[in-house]
Structure 1
C-alpha cells in the first residue's frame, strides 16, 4: 500500500533559480512531446506511445544542450505525464464527457518535478536532489516505510514542498466493534449527517474569506500589468486562496480521521459532483463544502487503518422512507421527511443517511458485515 507525505522545503535563492529553470526546461519538453504526438496523428494518422517519446530525449538533448541540466528520469516522467493526459482524454471521449484535449503549458504553468526511481536521498535535515543539490527540509513527522518517488512542487505563493510516496505494509483489519458501521449524507445546511443522528456543521470556509478575497482581487485588478505592484498583489491573492484550501484540507482530514477511528464501515453516496456544479444557484456552496475531498481523505485513512469505505448509488436516498420504503417526493426546501404510509416524521438528512447505510450494507458480502447487524 502507498502512503504520501508532504514536507516544506527551504531552498536558497540560488537553488530557487535552479529549480525554476528546470521547471521551464521540463515545460519545454512537455510542449515538444505534445506537439510531436499531435503532429504524428494529424499528418501521418499515427499513434505515438510513451516509449517512443522517451527515446527522443537523447536526440532532443543534442539539439537543446540545456536539457542536460535536468536529471534524466525527471525528463522521462514528463513524457509519462503527456501519456497520462492523452489517456484521460480518450477515457472522457469514450464515456461521452467533454473531452478536453491536452493543452500546451504556458510560462509558469509547469510547477513540479518528479524523481521516480532514483536521483534523490533524504537525510534528517536535507533532501539531496541530483542536478540541484542539498535542500533544507522540515521533517515535522517521521516517515514509515520505503520511499518510492519524490515530487518537488512549487506553490502559487512561492512555497516549495517535497511530496514523498512511501510503500508500507497493508494494515491488518481491526476487530469489529458494536455499532461500527455508519451511513453519511453530505449536504449544505449541515456538512454531514450520520445515520446515528449526529450532525457535522458546515464550516463555510470560502464564505468566511469571500470579502477578504474580493478586496485583494480588486487591488490586483487595479495594478498595471507587468509591474512589481501587480506581482506583489497577485501573491497576496494566492495567499488568501491557499489559506482557504488549507482550511478545507485540514477539516476534511480531521473529519475523516475521526470517522475511521470510530467506524469499521463508512458508507457515502457516490455523487457526480461535476454534474451538480452545473446548478449555478448552488455551485459556489457545493464547491465550498468539498464533499469529494472528504471521501478521498476518508478512503486513504480507512485503507491505512483497516476500515472500509463503501460508495452507493445516490438515487432516491432522500426520497425513500427509511421505515417502510415508500417514495415520498419532496423539494430541496423541505427539510423534514413525513411519510403518509407509516407516519414516520424525521429530519430529511437523517432519513437519507439511514437509507445510505442500508444500501451500503446490502452491497457488502455477508462475511464483511458487522456481527452487531
Structure 2
C-alpha cells in the first residue's frame, strides 16, 4: 500500500467542517468500543449493527459518510483483534487493551464520499458535513494511478494545517542493488549505528539541537492569557517545532535504511525492546530522539524493495563477547574500546556489530556459501572492506549518497 500525502488549502468554514467530521468519527469509534466492553463476546456483525443504530439515533452521525463510520468500526475491530492476538501469543508486558480516543486527528473515507477532480488537483467530499472542495498542493504523482486503485482517503489535521492522504493499492517495485555485501548493525546513542565494517553513522540529535527553541516557545505559551487568541497561536508555534523534529527523524531514518538495504544482501540488526528502554528516565529523551523503531520499520520495507534479507538478532552479550576469540570481556557502558587478551582491539560498537553479523549467519540468517566473504559498507558507493569475526575491519572510503525513494510521500 502506497500512501501519497498532499497539503490541503482550506477555508475557515471548511476547517470547522473537517474538525466536526473528525469528532464524529471519534464519537462513533468510542461508542462502538463501549458497546463491545459492555457486551463481551459479541462479534463483528453486532458491531456494524450498532453502528447502523447510531446513524439512526444521531443526526450528526448520519451526516458523516457511511463508509467513514464503517472505517471507525474497523479501527475498533483491529484493536480488539490485536489485543486477543497478543494474549494468545502471551506477549510480555501490556497486551494493548483497546482504549478510548481522546484527541483524534483524522477521518478516513473508503471508496465513497469523495471525488477527484479530472485534473486531480482538487478533491470534493460529498457528505453532509459541508467540507466541499479542497485544493491539493504538491507534485502530481496521484495522476499516474487509476482512481479504482485508491482504497482509502484520509483527512489528517496537523499543527501546520490539514493534509489529504491517498492510500493506493500497488505493490512495491523491486530495484537493483548497488552491492552484495553482508553487514551487522549496532545502534546506539553515541552514533546512530556502527556497522561491522567499521563505519559509524553520526547521530543527528534533532531534538537536542531544537530543544532551546522548543523550550522558548513553550514558555511563551504560559505568558499568554488563557482562552485568548494569542495563547492559541503560541501553542501552534510550539506544536510546529515538535512536528519539524518528528519529520526530520523520519526522513533521516528513511534515507539511512535505504542506503543500508541498497548496498547489502544481508543486514543483521539488534532486536531492541524500545518500549522498555525508554522507561530509563536518564536516557528516555535520547532514545526517543534517535528513532530506532522508525529505522527498523524502514529497514523492513526497503528489504522488500531491494530484495535484501534482514535478520533481527537478540542483543544479549553482543557487546561483551570478543569477536575474535569468543571470550566474554566484561565492560561497563563508559568503556568504549573492546580489548581482549587474544589481541583483538576494536571500538566497542564495531565489535558488537561483528558479533551481530556472526550470530545472524550461525542461526541460518544467510543461506549463501560465502560465509565470511567480502562485505561492503552501508554507505553507498564506498569501497569494499573485509568483514570477518577474527579480522579487524578497515574504515571504508566515503562517497556521495544516491537519491531516496519513498513509500510514504509528504508533499506540499
Query: Structures share a fold, TM > 0.5?
Result: yes
Please give the residue correspondences for 1:18-33 in structure 2 after superposition, counting only pairs within 5 Å: 18-33=17-32
Partner residue in 1 for 2:388: none
Q: Which residue of 1 aligns with 2:170?
A: 168
Tell me the secondary structure at the aligned position of residue 141 of structure 2: coil
Taking structure 1 as the reference length, the TM-score comes to 0.89
Corresponding position of 1:68: 62
Structure 2 unmatched ranges of 5 or more:
374-412
1 CA distance for matches of 2:4 and 2:85?
Answer: 29
Q: Does the Cα contact within 8 Å between 1:205 and 1:244 map onto a contact in 2? A: yes
Deviation string for 1:90-117 (max 9, x for gaps)? 45554241356433333xx111112234
Cα root mean square deviation, aligned: 2.4
For the pair 1:196 / 2:197, whether they are aligned, the reply is yes
How far off is 1:372 after superposition? 7.6
Counterpart of 2:150 in 1: which secondary structure? strand
Q: Which residue of 2 aligns with 1:250?
A: 251
Deviation, 1:229, is 2.4
Cα distance in 1 for partners of 2:335, 2:189 equals 13
Give the TM-score taking structure 2 as reference length: 0.81
- Aligned-pair distance for 1:22? 0.8
Find the aligned partners of 2:202 and 2:313 in 1 and give their Cα distance. Answer: 23
- Specify which structure has the bigger relative contact order, considering alpha-carbon pairs within 8 angstroms and separated by 6 or more residues: 2
Deviation at 1:370, TM superposition (A): 6.0
| Residue of structure 2 in register with 1:17 after alignment | 16
In structure 2, the partner of 1:43 is none
Residue equivalent to 1:263:
264
SS of 2:294 mapped into structure 1: helix
Q: Is the 8 A contact 1:174 1:307 kept in 2?
A: no
1:49, distance to aligned residue in structure 2 (A): 2.6
Equivalent positions of 1:216-235 (< 5 A) are: 216-235=217-236
The question of whether the paired residues in 2 share the 8 Å contact of 1:252 and 1:297 is answered with: yes
Distance 1:170 1:189, change over 3 A: closer
Is the alpha carbon distance of 1:167 and 1:307 closer, same or farther for their aligned partners in structure 2, counting shifts above 3 Å? farther
8 Å CA contact retained: 1:184, 1:194? yes
1:125 is aligned to 2:121: yes
Matches within 5 A, 1:236-315: 236-315=237-316
Which is helix-richer, 1 or 2? 1
3-state secondary structure, aligned to 1:240: helix
How many residues get paired?
362
